[in-house]
Amino acid sequence: MNTKVIVVGADGRMGREVVKTVLNESDLSLVGAVDTRNHGLDVGVLTGGTPCGVLLAGNLGRVLEETGAEVAVDFTTPEIIRENLSVYIRHKVNIVIGTTGLSEEDVDDIDKSAREAGIGVVIAPNFAIGAILMMKFASIAAKYFPNVEIIELHHDEKLDAPSGTAIKTAELVKAGRESIRQGHPEEHEKITGARGAEFDGMRIHSIRLPGFVAHQEVIFGGLGQTLSIRHDSINRESFMPGVVLAIRKVLDLKGVTYGLEKLLTE
């Protein structure tokens, strides 16, 4: 039996890619699509293909009720997730969340509600397998090169900064090294923000420009040497194998599983 999937934020940049992907996977059935606009349009056509019989709708609760979906894939905003959480929980649908910018409190709330309802949730700030490897390599390097700066580069429609991936990388670096204060103790910014955001003594720089999709470089500096670890998502297809893996795995989970890496090692 195919897994019944709905996409929330289906008319967004990521949502459209997820719609196309789910339509192409033989063990998944797209049964619903929710967004704020283009209601009544067939999502197969909307994403450049042939009609698939699934029409964009606006009411998440109604879509869940009518379709009996088993998994909802959500690429919206943290505010929408907070609004929709009780609807997901009421319908006991498993959730795959790609939306970034959720706080620790948000994740704890989702975990508590999901455990009580007995549903699984995967939250992954980055579904690209190469990005997971980049973070893993960075966490290894941090032990030997404690001085590090992170530069993340995204398209200029991105709402949150720094990216979820940059924050996750910084957390991993923090866990992998002794805490230090980097840079000159007397350095000062002539223009506020010149040195980027500060996290546990390291700096994170967020670049927003048209032309980029999602990229990150982690630069380590040591005596007479630097080490750069870089990942580039050239297009949004890069996230899709990770999203499909999460859809398949979430059915067997309870509560929140945070980070695609948890699914890769299990």
Which residues in 181-220 contact ligand NAP (CB under 6 A)? Answer: 214
What's the CA dihedral at 38, 40, 45, 48 to 10 degrees? Answer: 20
By CB under 6 A, residue 152 contacts ligand NAP: no
136 tagged catalytic: no
Q: Is 98 in the site for ligand NAP (CB under 6 A)?
A: yes
Q: For residue 202, what are the contacts with CB-CB under 8 A and spacing of at least 6?
A: 147, 148, 149, 150, 170, 173, 174, 182
155 catalytic, yes or no? Answer: no
| Out of 3, 5, 6, 15, the residue judged to bind ligand NAP by CB under 6 A | 15
Residue among 5, 7, 22, 34 that touches ligand NAP (CB under 6 A): 34
- Please list, in sequence order, all residues whose beta carbon lies within 8 angstroms of the beta carbon of residue 88, skipping any fewer than 6 positions away: 60, 64, 72, 95, 119
What is the secondary structure of 142-172 as a DSSP string? HHH--EEEEEEEE-TT--SSS-HHHHHHHHH
- Helix ranges (H only) for 193-259 are 240-250
When asked if residue 80 is in the footprint of ligand NAP (CB under 6 A), the reply is: yes
Residue 54 DSSP one-character state: P
The answer to whether the beta carbons of residues 37 and 11 sit under 8 Å apart is yes
Active-site choice (158, 174, 254, 262): 158
Is there binding between residue 76 and ligand NAP (CB under 6 A)? yes
In terms of CB distance, is 3 or 76 closer to ligand NAP? 76
**Span from 34-42, 86-94, 141-149, 192-200 in contact with ligand NAP (CB under 6 A):** 34-42
Residues labelled as active-site residues: 154, 158
Binding residues for ligand NAP, rule: CB under 6 A, are 8-9, 11-15, 34-37, 75-76, 80, 98-101, 124-127, 158, 214, 239
